Structure 1
Amino acid sequence: MADQAWRVLIVDDEPPIRAELNYLLKQDGRVGRIEEAGGATEAVEKILAFGPEVLFLDIQMPGTSGVQLADTLQKLKKPPVIVFVTAFSEYAAEAFELDAADYVLKPVEQDRLEKALDKVENALNARRPAVAEPVRRIQGERNGKRTYIPVTDIAYIEARADYASAHTEAGTYLVNDSISVLERRLANEGFLRVHRSFLVNIDDVRDVEVLKPSGLMQLKLGRTDASIPVSRRRATGVKKQLGLA
């Protein structure tokens, strides 16, 4: 759902850098509303106004530095998750002392940014209370009718912008939640995120293929006979979960 997407604030004194980072962030479905600030004072105003969950923060700025601003924000009851973005690698140690989720060097590349967003997602998930009760079913829609889908019937879930499709042997259902929300809800039900667009029921994995010459993994599922790609950065975790590492 759109209201599940992250509110993000970019703080940098250089407008072209803010614009480029804004564009790159919009390519990731986890990011929702984005605001910008040119310095610490404006950043504090924006933080108080719309409460961003994530802060992409330059370190060297006129006046109050990004490190000083981050230190001040730690006094908030719910401070935003911070990713430092800077051209100077020597600040890395100081940045991580402030419990930053990541430290990204300029110029920012899309692949590196996605890794930083994965760390942001982990940090945000760690702040949420654990689900007390097991999830037995989720609500979906098929042929214009709402129904409840037993979780054990789902072979895999595919991202569809702010929604998702749950694939079962009986057919496909539209689910009114994002794949990130479903990943959290189904984490204890045997579902594994294998790709930014796919969440797989481990019990449904029939075979694992390695594609040549790319070396990419692909999971063959049983009930739906689907082939699900595994992203490179998730391959190690998937192998471990499947007992292959």
Structure 2
Amino acid sequence: MSEGWNILVVDDEPPIRAELRYLLEKDTRVGQIAEAGNVTEAVESILSNKPNVLFLDITMPGRSGIELAETLQNLKTPPVVVFVTAFAEFAADAYNLDAVDYVVKPVEDARLSKALDKIEAALGARRVIHAPRQPLRLTVDRGGKKVFIPAADVCYFEARADFCNAICAEGTYLINESISSLERRLVSEGFIRVHRSYLVNLEDVHNVEIGSTGLMELRLDRVTSTVPVSRRRAAEVKAHLGLA
């Protein structure tokens, strides 16, 4: 990757984060590096910066790195995870969560280099696996004509009786399909039902706010509008976003 990997280092001890950053910056494959001191900060950074690599401590105050890794598996394209911890007994749990490597503190330069090689292989395999797959396309109405758009172009769907509006960065299109039907078709594409009237592309969620009505609202990357989350679905949405 010519621009370098976008890495998030998650550890509750600043000196350890600083040391790992120092070691990572010596490798030419590494691009941007962000830091988080706990799982809540990590979730916020993941939503806003969308890292493709995560160096993750396991034992932290509050929620553990294992819990965060479990939550990340709900994403359509989760970051590649390397666990960094002082406790080797967690290795089995780490590999059960598809971590590409497990590095014991204090991290040594040579050992980290091996982890970076595994990251490179994992990211390369992911590109090969995903390359042949044709993106799912949806038939929408644009100016009275039927056209196809990639499902990934849709930020969210809003129900309108038996049809829906597909809200994209470049405009709003009509799709002659119910929101329940779209929910069933698009769950594997990273969409989640957050309200009886809204289906949201999880990849587009930038952050979470509490609106004037007291309901949770999702702010998205590519459009200025926010999407409300119903009280009934709030727990499920929080779990998908790693906030539960």
TM-score between the two structures when normalised by the length of structure 1: 0.52
Q: For the structure 1 residues 91 and 54, does the alpha-carbon distance in structure 2 shift closer, same or farther, using more than 3 Å as the test? A: same
* Structure 1 runs (4+) greater than 3 angstroms displaced: none
Deviation at 1:2, TM superposition (A): 4.8
What's the % identity of the aligned pairs?
66
Residue segments in structure 1 that go unaligned for 5+ positions in a row: 133-245
CA-to-aligned-CA distance 1:86-124 (integer Å, 9 cap, x gap): 000000000000000000000001100000000111110
- Which residue does 1:162 correspond to in 2? none
C-alpha separation in 1, matches of 2:23 and 2:54 = 15
Trace 1:9-20 onto structure 2 (pairs within 5 A). 9-20=8-19
Residue segments in structure 2 that go unaligned for 5+ positions in a row: 133-244
C-alpha separation in 2, matches of 1:28 and 1:93 = 28
C-alpha separation in 2, matches of 1:2 and 1:20 = 24
Trace 1:44-123 onto structure 2 (pairs within 5 A). 44-123=43-122
C-alpha separation in 1, matches of 2:90 and 2:128 = 32
1:99 corresponds to which letter in structure 2? D
TM-score between the two structures when normalised by the length of structure 2: 0.52
Deviation at 1:129, TM superposition (A): 2.8
**SS of the residue aligned with 1:129?**
helix
Number of corresponding residues: 131
**SS of the residue aligned with 1:100?**
coil
Structure with the bigger RCO (C-alpha within 8 Å, sep 6+) is 2
- Which residue does 1:31 correspond to in 2? 30
Deviation at 1:10, TM superposition (A): 0.1
C-alpha separation in 2, matches of 1:63 and 1:49 = 21
2:117 corresponds to which letter in structure 1? D
Provide the alpha-carbon RMSD of the alignment: 1.4
C-alpha separation in 2, matches of 1:23 and 1:2 = 20
C-alpha separation in 1, matches of 2:127 and 2:70 = 22
CA-to-aligned-CA distance 1:22-64 (integer Å, 9 cap, x gap): 0000000000000000000000000011110000000000000
